[in-house]
Amino acid sequence: MIRRALISVYDKTGLLDFARALAARGVEILSTGGTLRALSNAGIAVTSVEAYTGSPEVMDGRVKTLHPRVHGGILMRGDVDTADLERLGGAPIDLVAVNLYPFVETVAKPDAKVADVVEQIDIGGPAMVRSAAKNHARVTVVCDPVDYETVLGELSASNEVSAATRRKLAAKAFAHTAAYDGAVAAYMSSLGDPDPAEEAAPPKREAYPRYLTLAFERAYPLRYGENPHQSGAFYRERTAPSGALALADSLGAGGKELSFNNLVDVDAALEAVREHDRPAAVIVKHTNPCGVAVADGLEAAYRRAREADPVSAFGGIVALNRAVDEATARALAETFLECVVAPSFSDEALGVLRAKKNLRLLATGAWLGADHRELAWKRVGGGLVVQDRDGSAIGEVAGARVVTKRAPTAEELAALDLAWKVCKHVKSNAIVLARPDRTVGVGAGQMSRVESVRIACRKAEDGARGSALASDAFFPFPDGVELALEAGVTAFAQPGGSVKDAEVIAAADKAGAAMIFTGVRHFRH
């Protein structure tokens, strides 16, 4: 039974309804600061923590809940500690609803000064949350407004919160404080030595703090991992931005959840389709784009992408950068696909696609731009390699340096731009042949660049003639360019920087082809 609750929240979502429901059940509510004022102004009976402890807030509110009557009331173990608590003049606290100062939000502000950020390091809040979570055998702890409904539902049904729910809420509370402390440690360890100038301006910070804590929450278990003999689960980053795959809505599971490989492929497809402003479609197989196209309409873009490599498209993952309409849905339904991800789906499109057996549908809602910033990492034995996300490619072809006697035509530049945007999403060594509106051949993941050229040209067949080629890194020898020229390629985009650049350029000049150097490499391992 909950007789007394301590509520002190920065995020006041759902606060008044929650407190009213508790008060209606005869629960005595203790509170502080802004929460106290909000409850009082709403006409909800509330006692200040100051009145409960008999000790005034001091130091501008820095010390208000760090008191034996507060923590004794939370940590007391039933009859075991009753006498001690009575001696302190306290009373049992059965529910603690606390969330913390907006430290992460403050750090994210570009003009945040060190003093402003440090002031948002919550002390009393985490102490109460951890105390309540430790004593979850008796106390219910709520750090997320989402859980108010669960608590009230159980109280209405049985006049108490179950032991199972208290334990789940305690685990969530410890995860909450762990993530919070991790964010504080990352910020503090990103700062250099104290500088008097920090008082007047935002500090200079290291891009990679000494201490990096990654906070994830298990979203759901997977049927298995990369292979059937491996187990697996999908974890959602607690600070994932709107539009990220982790926050996408599943609108049709097709009878089974996404697999480990599906999720990796969906992420690769999403990353690739974000590069394009025009209606675009990307089809991915085993993390590599096998067909990419743009058009004035989404249906046409998808059909062009599928035609680029219809064999590989079978059983693939499709990412689209526009809302899926009925016409596009009918085109998608013509081929067996594992998953379709897009910003949204019309009701008519859902009616068509949900009839497909085992087709998964994901809607991202918000849309992240091609240049959005975030850290990317990969697990290696005993650690992580961390880097900033490769958010460049847009404008690199337009700003590239022409190195051959002939400059690319407007049509070739458009084809090079598409090929270049696709190339950065193909596993290295990567070669992409394209027209202005679609890819025609992709060579991925080979140990030698010339072999990737050979594969891309073979896949393109007659489509290689008159196409443009993008290479994710420089050509170490002229042989790759010569092979592409034999297949009919007329224009090339590459970073440049090889000791054999002069020979590579000479090979292109000899054939009357155009070549540009972007100066940027896009390896993807």
Give me the pLDDT at residue 498, please: 96
Whether residues 169 and 299 share a domain: the answer is no
Answer whether residue 387 shows pLDDT above 90.
Answer: yes
DSSP states of 330-373: HHHTTS-EEEEEES-B-HHHHHHHTTSTT-EEEE--S---TT--
Range name among 71-85, 292-306, 321-335, 475-489 with the lowest pLDDT average: 71-85
pLDDT score recorded for residue 419: 97
Instruction: Please compute the mean of the pLDDT values over residues 366-372 and round it to a whole number.
Output: 90
Instruction: Indicate whether 41 and 154 sit together in one domain.
Output: yes
Average pLDDT over residues 28-40: 93
Residues spanned by the domain of 176: 4-199
Q: For residue 65, what pLDDT is reported?
A: 77
Confidence check: pLDDT of 311 > 80? yes
**Which of 308, 336, 363 is the C-terminal boundary of a domain?**
363
Question: Which H or E element spans position 119?
Answer: helix 114-119
Same domain, yes or no, for 282 and 170? Answer: no
235 inside domain: no
**Per-residue confidence (pLDDT) for residue 383, from 0 to 100:** 95
User: Does one domain contain both 307 and 189?
Assistant: no
Q: Check residue 158 and give its pLDDT.
A: 94
Residue 55 sits in a domain whose CATH number is 3.40.50.1380
The answer to whether position 495 is within a domain reads yes
Decide if pLDDT at 197 tops 70. no
The pLDDT value given to residue 420: 97
DSSP SS3 for 99: coil
The verdict on 444 and 344 lying in the same domain is: no
Query: Which sequence positions are flagged as catalytic?
Result: 134, 286
189 and 251 together in one domain: no
**Does residue 222 belong to any structural domain of this protein?**
no
For residue 388, being part of any structural domain is answered with no
Average pLDDT score, the chain: 93
Among 31-45, 88-102, 193-207, 282-296, the least confident range = 193-207
Average pLDDT, stretch 435-449? 96
Q: Is residue 522 part of a domain?
A: no
Number of domains into which the chain is organized: 3
Residue 120 lies in a domain: yes
How big, in percent rounded to 5, are the helix, strand and coil portions of the chain? Answer: 40, 20, 40
In DSSP terms, 375 is beta-bridged to: 388
159 and 259 share a domain?
no
pLDDT tens per residue across span 404-427: 999 999 999 999 999 999 999 999
Three-class HEC string of 391-447: CCCCCCCCCCEECCCECCCHHHHHHHHHHHHHHCCCCCCCEEEECCCEEEEEECCCC
Domain boundary among 199, 221, 254: 199
Residue 236 lies in a domain: no
358 and 451, same domain (yes or no): no
Confidence tier at 112 by pLDDT (50, 70, 90) = confident
Query: Which residue has tokens 């909000």?
Result: 38
Say what the pLDDT of residue 443 is. 96
Average pLDDT over residues 6-31: 95
For residues 175 and 283, state if they share a domain: no
pLDDT, position 341: 97
Query: Residue 80 in 3-state DSSP?
Result: helix
- Taking alpha carbons only, the member of 513, 503, 455, 454 closest to residue 475 is 503
Q: What is the pLDDT of residue 225?
A: 95
Same domain as 123, residue 13:
yes
User: 137, 171, 199: which is the final residue of a domain?
Assistant: 199
pLDDT level of residue 254 (50, 70, 90 thresholds)? low
Give the mean model confidence (pLDDT) for residues 230-239. 93
The share of the chain scoring above pLDDT 70, in percent, equals: 98
**Mean pLDDT value across residues 73-89:** 86
pLDDT score of 59: 75
The whole-angstrom separation of Cα 514 and Cα 489 is: 10
Q: Is residue 312 part of a domain?
A: yes
Question: Which pLDDT value is given to residue 198?
Answer: 63
- Check whether 255 has a pLDDT greater than 80: no
pLDDT for 84 equals 83
Co-location of 351 and 406 in the same domain: no
For residues 88 and 18, state if they share a domain: yes
Helices and strands, number each (H, E), in the chain: 19, 21
Residue 337: CATH number of its domain: 3.40.140.20
Percentage with pLDDT > 90 across the chain: 78
